[in-house]
Amino acid sequence: MRLGLLVRLFPLLLGAGCTTARVATPEPAPPLPIAKSKPPAPAPRCEVSAGPAPLRRLTRDQYINSVFDLLAGKDPSAATSLRGLRGVSTVASMTLPADETVGPFRSNVVAAPTELDAQQLMEASERAAEVAANQLARFYTCEAGSDPAACARRFVDSFGRRVFRRPLRAVESDRYTQLFLQEARSGGPADGLRSVVSTLLQSPYFLDHTREDGAAAAPGVVELGPYALASRLAYMLWLSAPDEALLDAAASGSLATPAGLRAQAERMLADERAQRAIVNFHLQWLGIEDVSSTPKNSKLFPFWSSDRKGGGLYPFREAIRRETEQFVDHVIRHGDGKLDTLLTAPFSFVDEALFGYYGITRPANYDPSRPVALDPKQRAGLLTQGSFLAFHAHTAQSSPVARGVMVRKNLLCQDLPDPPPDVNNNPPDPDPKLTTRERFEEHRLDGVCGGCHKLIDPIGFGFENYDAVGQYRERENGNPIDATGELIEAGDVGGAFDGAVQLANKLAKSKKVQTCYVKQWFRYALGRMETEADACSLKTAEDEFERSGRDVRALLLVLPTTDSFRMREVTR
Amino acid sequence: MNRIHNGQFGRRQFLQALGLPAMAAPFLPILNASGRERVFPKRLVLFFTPHGTIWKDWKPTGTEKKFTLGPILKPLERHKKQVNVLAGLEVRAPGVGAPHTKGPAILWTGSPLLNDKTFVRRDGSGGLYFGWNSGPSIDQVIARSVGGVTPYRSLEFGVRSGISHPGSRMIYTGPRQPLPPESNPYGVLGRVFAAGGQTYENLRRQRKSTIDVLKADLDGFKQEAVADDRQKVESHLAAIRSIETRLEQKQVTCKRAPKLADGIDPNARESTPEVLELQQDLLTASLACDVTRIASLQYRVGENDGDRYTWLGIEHDGHHGMSHSGDSNAVEIGNLTKIYTWYADRFARLLDRLASVKEGNGTMLDNTLVVWGSEIAKGNTHSFQRVPFITAGGCGGAVKTGRFLEYGDLVPHNRLLVAMAHAMGVPSIETFGSTDDGRGPLERFL
């Protein structure tokens, strides 16, 4: 199948042995192939069990997307007004509380909210509410002659349900309706609406992930209520709050059935909003969220920081970040969906600014929204994209350690012990006569460092064909690059390889990587590390993932059906 | 006029004082028991810059009272009589966490990180799992004693101070309880100092209504929460109540509060020098107008500040990258010295501001203890030995200044933290943090 793809993508390459790749002929984007997927295999027989669900505040991205979906919808002017929420507007730019992390992922489960956090959220909510109040008619109408109290309650109940991700209880409905009427008395309905929106957005029922228990499932395990389940599903697949349809499914009870749950998950995965979560997951998984703000040596790589625009973005860095974003969304939602493709695809989405960087000439019929073929001897999937290679490198030189550690920890889910205290972990100073690899060899030979660095560096050396920004190179300081590497203590993926393309292909076939990828999605979806009680759910998810040929869509559809996702351990 | 008892006076008097037009000026002078001398409150300011220093260019030469500042500290020349240079303190940093990660959390707490699995280091260099801080920072402990009389117990200022993570949080009220700094000067200005006028009155009224509803929501939420989570809900509730209390108070009118022009993006690297200036203005104003007596200013982050100092003409690499250069790399050591000298220059400008506020026959700086530290000592070894500490201000006569204090035997910096408490009038503290097995304040400091 990969050969077939190559033949399609590389008509000239194969014929002429030329290193210049050509773009694929534009084709209409295939429909999302989710609906055709086979029903999942029956779950293995397992005790019902699930890990805990600690109180978890929305992350910044979850907050911003939720507010955006609530208030902007598809309205472009509201979208513009809300952009300040992202903290990139110039004047008095909004500040939201910073996130914590769990594993590679953002999740706010430990530190309690401080006064400053509450202040910042108050100010952000007020700004968002102002946007709504300025567009009153989009949110609130009251026919002449009708009872203002009834109109207020209608707004509070319908809008409040979206914000709280569940229907308001009577006492809450009263409380917010009263707030509306009290504020409207002096300033009219716009004031009432402003206060209600601002307050709803500061309520713990919005800021914290929804808690709602259903029936007991087993001793010490309780099912989530339908709205908590809907909320989990929406933040996993959309990085945002549930929409009306999902809340309706929770209300009708259909979400509680396996078929209803799957139908919603399929619908949501097909929706554009799924792009946010898929992108967010992969950037965090690969540790490259901040690639746009990572500096590089400007003498060696002037293009990295050139032509900055007024908005503060560096076009080159944005282009390599966008490449990865487009790529993961394309593969998972419009392509074959396979983990194998994510890790080995010899194509990507290449902005014009990146043609030189990837050593390709502008393809005929170039279309930035279509995949562009890259030299398959140089590039294979995510780990050979500029974003990964450049972020996991020093400013002037590559970093075999950083790249090796990412593979070991984030792709293989293996822990590494701490380095000894007071170790000098400088990168060795560049020596114009040596390659990076030669300079780093000391790590492995040193008695103290070698114990761990033999687990790390021989993986990282496989990436030595890519410099500090991820450009392909065959020589360094005049010396030929040696990109041979080895994975030790790595189970089925162990053994020698030569270069990142071979490494990527090894990883793509590995069961260990498969297990880890499932685990990472689990952590992302639940915002916590796995516990022993989650073992069965992880196995269910992995079995289905494997059965589907490692189709990420199948994984995203099965994960919400597992015990750990639908239930929680009863804690104190 | 009421006199201060042990440096404290009541909220009611304070509010009355605020109502006076005279309060538009710096701190209201209070007469002492004899009715003649004016007594001014003591203040504490913590200042942070990342990645240690270049020791050979930092360390003064000479004796305790007769010394010459090195090139990095030259900008402090004009404040030399108000400064103490502390050479030879060690920040003991046992336990989990990479050096840049644990450094900020240990700096003012003197306690290691918790050994749990809260965090996993993303780039893997030097650490695997680690938790939040294990103890409070000294300023917060002092604030419990002296901070209750001002509208804010303490104020935390930042300049692009990073994520919620031990590597970028240095102030803590207790274990796992970081106090994040506000990095947005517009946020500080709008919150702390009176905007005034009808718009503000409307906002205040709206916020009070909002808070009434939020408290009811939080009460309900707390009932539903499991016991493990209830403490967090309590904290949320406490945060909302603090905001409410402030709304009840008259907002502080302070002529020293700076006017902020529109259009500064506090998150942009290019704005950094400008934001640092504004935050210093705001910090000075909040002390001068007695909004708080405990403040901190965190410039950037401990964990790998990658900033390129383009405003110093250093474009080729970020600070952290350069800080790993070997001692023999004269070019990079020169660049680093430039950065650290710039830090000293900014620190001197903070002192300028504090010294510009007249208090009695002296200045506010005389009544303040400013302590400047960093999360490590030396970038290329990540050493915690000889972390550069500078203090400034006499803290109302508690600290003798104008001295170069050399500690040859690597004294744990916990003793400095103890001395800070004593200087601020909290003598009950004999030890601070868990990384020191000794006790007592730093010798010769007080």
**B49 contacts B55 by C-beta, under 8 angstroms:** no
Instruction: Give the gap in angstroms from C-alpha A459 to the nearest C-alpha of chain B.
Output: 14
Pairing of strands B67-68, B403-412: unpaired
Give the residue on B whose Cα is nearest the Cα of A196: B210
Give the residue on B whose Cα is nearest the Cα of A425: B381
- Give the mutation candidate from B96, B182, B229, B312 for the A interface (greatest A CB count, under 10 A): B229
Listed by number, the residues of chain B in 145-204 with a beta carbon closer than 8 Å to a beta carbon of chain A are 156, 162-165, 168, 176-184, 186-187, 190-191, 203
Which residue in the set A111, A297, A405 is minimally distant from B178, CB to CB?
A111
- On whether any CB of chain B is under 8 Å from the CB of A222, the answer is no
Q: How far apart are CA B350 and CA B280, in angstroms?
A: 6
- On whether any CB of chain B is under 8 Å from the CB of A430, the answer is no
Kindly report the backbone phi and psi dihedral angles of residue B392, in degrees, each rounded to the nearest multiple of 5, phi listed first. Answer: -145, 150
- Can you give the pLDDT of all 446 residues of chain B as single tens digits? 333 333 333 333 333 333 332 233 344 445 444 545 568 999 999 999 999 999 999 999 999 999 999 999 999 999 999 999 999 999 999 988 889 999 999 999 999 999 887 776 654 444 567 888 999 999 999 999 998 888 899 999 999 998 888 999 999 999 989 999 999 888 888 788 866 677 778 888 999 999 999 999 999 999 999 888 999 999 999 999 999 988 887 777 788 888 887 777 787 788 899 999 999 999 999 999 999 999 999 999 998 888 889 899 887 788 998 898 888 889 999 999 999 999 999 999 999 999 999 999 999 999 999 999 999 999 988 899 999 999 999 999 999 999 999 998 899 999 999 999 999 999 999 999 999 999 999 999 99
- Give residues with Cβ within 8 angstroms of B303, minimum separation 6: B98, B100, B101, B104, B162, B165, B167, B168
Of residues B29, B239, B42, B197, the one with CA closest to residue A204 = B239
Q: Do B164 and A424 touch (CB under 8 A)?
A: no
Give the residue on B whose Cα is nearest the Cα of A304: B316
Listed by number, the residues of chain A in 283-302 with a beta carbon closer than 8 Å to a beta carbon of chain B are 287, 293-295, 297-300
Report how far apart, in Å, the C-alpha atoms of A466 and of each of A87, A389, A500, A506 are: 33, 7, 9, 19
Which ranges of A477-566 does DSSP label H, i.e. alpha helix? 499-509, 511-526, 535-547, 552-558, 563-566
Q: Give the pLDDT of residue B267.
A: 79
Q: Do B126 and A419 touch (CB under 8 A)?
A: yes
Instruction: Give the gap in angstroms from C-alpha A260 to the nearest C-alpha of chain B.
Output: 28
Give the residue on A whose Cα is nearest the Cα of B231: A112
**A167 contacts A226 by C-beta, under 8 angstroms:** no
Residue A332 gets which letter from DSSP? Answer: I
- On whether any CB of chain B is under 8 Å from the CB of A173, the answer is no
Q: How far apart are CA A384 and CA A491, in angstroms?
A: 23
- On whether any CB of chain B is under 8 Å from the CB of A312, the answer is yes
Side chain identity, residue A118: A
Q: How far apart are CA A274 and CA A328, in angstroms?
A: 11
Report how far apart, in Å, the C-alpha atoms of A324 and of each of A178, A535, B122, B125 are: 48, 31, 19, 24
- On whether any CB of chain A is under 8 Å from the CB of B317, the answer is yes
Q: Do A199 and B210 touch (CB under 8 A)?
A: yes
Give the residue on A whose Cα is nearest the Cα of B209: A179
Residues of B in contact with A172 (CB under 8 A): 217, 220
Instruction: Give the gap in angstroms from C-alpha A204 to the nearest C-alpha of chain B.
Output: 6
Q: Give the pLDDT of residue A94.
A: 56
Size of chain A, expressed as the number of residues it contains: 572
Of residues B247, B206, B200, the one with CA closest to residue A191 = B206
Q: How far apart are CA B381 and CA B386, in angstroms?
A: 12
Instruction: Give the gap in angstroms from C-alpha A11 to the nearest C-alpha of chain B.
Output: 40
A500 token code pair: 């990142």
Q: Give the pLDDT of residue B1.
A: 30
- Give residues with Cβ within 8 angstroms of A188, minimum separation 6: none
Mean pLDDT, contiguous 10-residue spans, chain A (572 residues): 34 29 38 46 71 93 91 69 48 66 88 89 89 90 93 97 98 98 93 97 97 93 97 97 97 96 97 95 94 84 78 82 96 97 97 94 92 96 98 90 92 75 56 80 69 86 96 93 92 94 96 96 95 95 97 97 96 73
- Give residues with Cβ within 8 angstroms of A187, minimum separation 6: none
Q: Give the pLDDT of residue A74.
A: 66
Q: How far apart are CA A188 and CA A496, in angstroms?
A: 73
Burial (CB < 10 A; 0-12, 13-18, 19+), residue B385, is middle
Listed by number, the residues of chain A in 399-428 with a beta carbon closer than 8 Å to a beta carbon of chain B are 401-402, 405-406, 408-409, 415-419, 421-427
Report how far apart, in Å, the C-alpha atoms of B138 and of each of B108, B239, B307, B386, B417 are: 6, 21, 29, 20, 6
Residues of A in contact with B184 (CB under 8 A): 92-93, 95
Residue B113 gets which letter from DSSP? Answer: B
**A564 contacts A521 by C-beta, under 8 angstroms:** no
Instruction: Give the gap in angstroms from C-alpha A5 to the nearest C-alpha of chain B.
Output: 34
Number of alpha helices (DSSP H) and beta strands (DSSP E) in chain A: 25, 11
- On whether any CB of chain B is under 8 Å from the CB of A392, the answer is yes
Q: How far apart are CA A485 and CA A401, in angstroms?
A: 13
- Give the mutation candidate from B116, B165, B179, B265 for the A interface (greatest A CB count, under 10 A): B265
A130 token code pair: 């102002």
Residues of B in contact with A419 (CB under 8 A): 125-127
Instruction: Give the gap in angstroms from C-alpha B17 to the nearest C-alpha of chain A.
Output: 25
Q: What is the CA radius of gyration of chain B?
A: 22
Q: Give the pLDDT of residue A82.
A: 63
Of residues A409, A399, A405, A404, the one with CA closest to residue A437 = A399
For residue B89, list its beta bridge partners. Answer: B411
Q: How far apart are CA A450 and CA A431, in angstroms?
A: 22
**B189 contacts B266 by C-beta, under 8 angstroms:** no
- On whether any CB of chain B is under 8 Å from the CB of A569, the answer is no
Q: Give the pLDDT of residue A75.
A: 66
Listed by number, the residues of chain B in 339-398 with a beta carbon closer than 8 Å to a beta carbon of chain A are 380-383
Q: A7: how many CB neighbours lie within 10 A of its CB?
A: 11
Give the residue on A whose Cα is nearest the Cα of B232: A112
Listed by number, the residues of chain A in 441-470 with a beta carbon closer than 8 Å to a beta carbon of chain B are 456
Give the residue on B whose Cα is nearest the Cα of A100: B164
Q: Give the pLDDT of residue A425.
A: 56
